[in-house]
Copies of this chain bind each other. A is one copy, B any other.
């Protein structure tokens, strides 16, 4: 009587872990001082871009991640936009980025007037493949003085955005080596990976700059919010300056010395963030527990496995992810249908960004692995409540 299909087995495994649905893919959890801090914030009247919670949030983020500086920003996309600017990305530069990512990360490159250039990922960590990257750059680049130029487009390749997909750290040592060789800056898109470590370092602290997101679907949330991490004092200062309309300090005059942005996180959102940060360790424990329960259930099913943290890394398990042994888009869709019909909100990986209309003519290496993973991957319910 083993007539049960793979989709049915997957749905049953999820049910065994989290009980009956309906359940969302990811809900934030507010079990600490959230309301208390917000009430205090409102009573202080400092609800906007200046206030003690913004300061405290930055100090606590810096402590938690080990970055020398954290600058809180209105959201993760804005944080990445600003980080790219701080890394020196200019109009008509190219910026390397994986095609298997959230569109916001690629849009941030476009906001700089730069051209996203897509690279492939690898299966182990789901991040940029350093071996393919090195081979590709060797093939397509010329070194002009200290800069690396794409010899086919003539554009400078200024930076590489490294994402820690679903919370799993990318292969930073190898990527940093490639970036050094080609004199390309690394900006870490750690939007999904607060609480994830590459070896002993928090993600977002290994590149020149890193960015976090505190959107409602993240491990901790400020409603909308993000941050820039850096160990460089001058970059941190410039991040604050550019995110506060580049206003020059003066007792009353309105002088701005650059084209800046209105990118600071409001104090009221930071108040939420301070409370969320206090409970982050508990949230991470729950994520790991959930992973272990899923792992046990999926170990009994043939043809599918749960994605585990890479060697030498600690993942925050932001989104729990299962992977078909073999790429099969039809089967992936059947599983998605079965899960969602049963009330277990699940989603596939992102459509590869190079397949989206606004980015369909961008430069790209061949993306075998990304294409394969797109047909294999499903994110399953990842709440704290279980």
**A42-B30, A74-B74, A224-B74 given; A254·B103 CB < 8 A:** yes
Report the count of interface residues on A (CB-CB < 8 A): 66
CB distance from A290 to the nearest CB of B (A): 17
In A257-273, the 8 Å CB interface with B consists of: 257-262, 264-269, 272
Q: Which of B28, B78, B103, B224 contacts A245 (CB 8 A)?
A: B103
What does the 1/0 interface line of A336-349 toward B look like (CB < 8 Å)? 10001000001110
Contacts of A348 in B (CB 8 A): 252-254
B268 touches A351 (CB 8 A): no
Q: Which of B50, B258, B350 contacts A357 (CB 8 A)?
A: B258
**A42-B30, A104-B262, A259-B107 given; A252·B48 CB < 8 A:** no
Chain B residue with the shortest CB-CB distance to A35? B39
Binds B, one of A124-132, A169-177, A213-221: A213-221
Chain B residue with the shortest CB-CB distance to A218? B48
CA distance A130 to B333 in the complex (A): 60
Determine if A27 is an interface residue (Cβ-Cβ < 8 Å).
yes
Determine if A330 is an interface residue (Cβ-Cβ < 8 Å).
no
CA distance A267 to B217 in the complex (A): 13
Identify whether the interface residues of A are mostly helix, strand, loop, or mixed: loop
CB distance from A75 to the nearest CB of B (A): 5
Determine if A199 is an interface residue (Cβ-Cβ < 8 Å).
no
B74 touches A45 (CB 8 A): no
CA distance A76 to B268 in the complex (A): 17
Chain B residue with the shortest CB-CB distance to A252? B347
A47 touches B268 (CB 8 A): no
A28 touches B45 (CB 8 A): yes
B49 touches A216 (CB 8 A): yes
What does the 1/0 interface line of A93-108 toward B look like (CB < 8 Å)? 0000000001110010
B38 touches A252 (CB 8 A): no
Chain B residue with the shortest CB-CB distance to A347? B252
CB distance from A232 to the nearest CB of B (A): 24
What does the 1/0 interface line of A138-163 toward B look like (CB < 8 Å)? 00000000000000000000000000
Contacts of A77 in B (CB 8 A): 261-262
Max count, chain B CB within 10 A of own CB: residue among A217, A253, A265: A253
In A1-47, the 8 Å CB interface with B consists of: 27-30, 34-35, 38-39, 42-43, 45-47
A-B contacts besides A111-B111, A251-B340, A268-B268, 9 pairs, CB < 8 Å: A29-B45, A38-B42, A47-B216, A47-B221, A107-B259, A110-B259, A254-B348, A254-B351, A256-B358
**15 A-B pairs, CB-CB below 8 angstroms?**
A28-B47, A29-B45, A30-B42, A30-B45, A34-B42, A46-B216, A48-B224, A103-B245, A107-B262, A111-B111, A223-B267, A252-B340, A253-B348, A254-B347, A254-B350
